[in-house]
Amino acid sequence: MYSERMSTPERLIEATRELLWERGYVGTSPKAIQQQAGAGQGSMYHHFTGKPDLALAAIRRTAQELRATADATLGIEGSAYEKIASYLLRERDVLRGCPVGRLTMDPDIIASDELRAPVDETITWLRGRLAEIAQQGVRDGEFPASVEPGDVASTIVATVQGGYVLARASGSTAAFDAGVRGLLALLAPRD
């Protein structure tokens, strides 16, 4: 499942990331992590103090990956609308959902300040990055001066996260796609 070149800690982190996404914190047992990573109990506890420590490393990795992906799609050359469209239209596994967004629905992660922190920081970062782009759109006259960049950023994040929920509930990407089309229609520059 994992590359032979991956170190044991890397395999453990990747296995934990997958299991957190699929099963949540409670459903991710140390034994399941070890089995998926092909690592023994001694190896796991040699590299990590326990499940919370390993979960934190996995959550941080997931957050870093989301930031890198978002930054790549938002960092294109072009207008604010084109940058936002790039982010909204990027290829996603919609029916699987957002690995960071899914963590917000896990009561054990949300109850832990330490585990919740990278999730909150990532969502805050994304909203900030999107607000900068919306501000660019206002500054360049692409969006009306009355547009509040922070509100636009929150709307974009809510559309994506809500779209995942609607798609998963229906078993179809149609609702996600409709939300993206609707938001892009609302943001489209007017002649």
Averages of pLDDT over each 10 residues, the chain, 191 residues = 79 94 91 92 89 95 96 96 97 93 92 96 98 97 94 97 96 97 92 65
pLDDT of residue 6: 86
- State in Å, rounded, how far the first CA of the chain is from the last one: 52
162-174 pLDDT, tens digit per residue, is: 999 999 999 999 9
Q: Which of 83, 181, 188 is nearest to 142 (CA)?
A: 188
pLDDT of residue 166: 96
Query: φ and ψ at 189, to 5 degrees?
Result: -60, 140
Q: In the chain, what are the domains?
A: 8-187 (1.10.357.10)
The DSSP element (H or E) to which 25 belongs, if any, is: none
Measured CA distances, 123 to 61, 114, 130, 151 (Å): 14, 15, 11, 14
The overall average pLDDT reported for the chain is 94
pLDDT of residue 161: 96
With contact defined as beta carbons under 8 Å apart, do 54 and 44 qualify?
yes
pLDDT of residue 3: 62
